[in-house]
Amino acid sequence: YGFRRKRSMKIDHANTKEQLRKIKKLYTLSFPLCERKPFSMMISKQEKGDMEIMYIEDDDGTFSGLAITVLYKDIVLLDYFAISPEYHGKGKGSQALKMLIERYKDKRFFLEVESTKDNCKDIETRKRRKNFYLRNSMTESGIDVILFGVPMELLVCNCNISFEEYFDIYDKIFGKMISKNVKRNADNK
């Protein structure tokens, strides 16, 4: 009576055109243009083994989100993570993040969030997003960066990462044209 079984979820590589179409649609909806990498480039990087584009679905096959990671040495950058808007506030994001942390438990796992240290018009949204990650096993690294002009903070999961290692991900995976847009934030050392 009133008991609802928590639905299980599955995270796996997107390997069909339909899965990639749904991911691209949510990706475009969830991230501002200035923060998006070209989708075709990410597909190419996945084919080379440098990125993983993952499809998050319920046990009944319903698409519920995306996770896109960058793989470099023993480091995993959760580059993009989004849950479909209809599932916000239902615990799916926490469940999916726990699954990702488990998937990469033998790697150093981290992510970027927009800085909460500057006053801006969407500061409450930024704080809410950061607090979601802090509630779900992530901690502050103490490293602040400027990524394509956007102040970001690095959050880690049970590991350390240096700015140099972070920079190397962009330099070695995406090249000099991209990495020249990655800088340490001198204002928030």
- The pLDDT-based confidence of 188 (bands split at 50, 70, 90) is low
Evaluate if residue 28 carries a pLDDT over 60. Answer: yes
55 near 66, Cβ under 8 Å?
Answer: yes
**pTM of the model as a whole:** 0.92
How far apart (Å, rounded) are the C-alpha atoms in residues 97 and 1?
Answer: 30
Q: Which residues contact 89 (CB under 8 A, 6 or more apart)?
A: none
Q: What is the pLDDT of residue 93?
A: 95
Query: Which of 68, 96, 63, 98 shows the shortest CA–CA distance to 80?
Result: 68
Burial of 86 (0-12, 13-18, 19+ CB in 10 A): exposed
Share of the chain above pLDDT 90, in %: 78
